[in-house]
Structure 1
Amino acid sequence: MQIRVKCSCGQGNCPEWAIVELQGMVEAQPSFKGQLQNLEIGQLCRPSAQENYTFTVGYHELTGSKVPLKKPLLVLKKMSHMEADQSSDLKSSRVELEVIGIIRHRILFKTRPKALISRPQPVVKERVSVQGSIVPNQLA
């Protein structure tokens, strides 16, 4: 069987993709098990012009870097075409693979996540005055 690979984006104009590589597993909550497509799991940022990245998932922050792949990978989309043969009643299918992107880098997060814990807000204690009205304490 012959499979044709075609690129409609032109030579050198394919969109760049990247692989995000994490250590461990990312598990969805049971309520999302059947709806994983287009599920947002976190926020990926590059805070500076360097090749450092941060990935925030809930209350956890991972720090990673951009690493080139030894060999680039293609992102392909399978397209099958049914063709009817005029000389006989047989139908044949033709399979083509369309290039929709190329992967040249991976973003590697190899350290353990850092917990994002914010400082609690100062509590304003209230005191009761002699007349029974509530007066807030002054913070020094």
Structure 2
Amino acid sequence: MHIQVKCSCGEGNCPEWAIVELQGVVEAQPSFENRLQSLQIGVLCRPSSQESYTFTIGYHELIGTKVSLKKPILVLKKIKLRNEDEEEDGGDVDATRVELDMIGIIRHKILFKTRPKALISSKGAQPSAKEKASASSSKTPH
């Protein structure tokens, strides 16, 4: 089968995409299982003064870095077109041919390779010595 690949966005104008690579599994709660289409997974931030990224998912925060890919990856959209040549020859009316339209290019990935940091602590957890020191230094005498 012959598949044609074309770029409709023009030379050098294809939007840049990125891959977010996580270690582990992101699981949706059972109440969202059937509605994943527009589900917000988390918040991705990059402080302007740093090259690191933070990705907050629920009560977990991941810290990652931007990494260049060895080879760029194309983002393609499959388009099914009617094959008019076969229709005119009396062939199968439902015959289609496939084209791939390039809609983006990926040159970087944001890699989160460390374990997530918990943003909340349990109720029974004792404050660390550092937290105790900062709390006592912030108290003002009466």
Fold-level similarity (TM above 0.5) = yes
1:84-113 deviation digits (Å, cap 9, x = unpaired): 421324333110000011000000000111
Q: In the aligned structure 2, how far is the partner of 1:9 from the partner of 1:75? A: 12
Please state how far the C-alpha of 1:82 moved relative to its aligned partner: 1.5
**Are 2:92 and 1:90 aligned?**
yes
TM-score w.r.t. length of structure 2: 0.79
Q: In the aligned structure 1, how far is the partner of 2:80 from the partner of 2:28? A: 32
Please state how far the C-alpha of 1:31 moved relative to its aligned partner: 0.6
| Counterpart amino acid of residue 76 in structure 1 | L
TM-score w.r.t. length of structure 1: 0.80
Written as runs of structure 1 = structure 2, the 5 A alignment for 1:100-119 is: 100-117=103-120
Q: In the aligned structure 2, how far is the partner of 1:100 from the partner of 1:68? A: 20
Structure 1: gaps of 5 or more residues? 121-138
Q: What residue number does 1:60 align with?
A: 60
Q: What residue number does 1:129 align with?
A: none
Q: What residue number does 1:71 align with?
A: 71
* Identity rate, percent: 69
Q: Which has the higher helix share?
A: 2
- Change in Cα spacing, 1:117 to 1:87, as seen in structure 2 (3 Å) is closer
Q: How many residues align?
A: 121
Please state how far the C-alpha of 1:60 moved relative to its aligned partner: 1.0
Q: Which has the higher strand share?
A: 1
Structure 2: gaps of 5 or more residues? 124-140
Q: Find the residue that maps to 2:88 and give its secondary structure.
A: coil
Moved over 3 A (4+): none
Bigger-Rg structure (1/2): 1
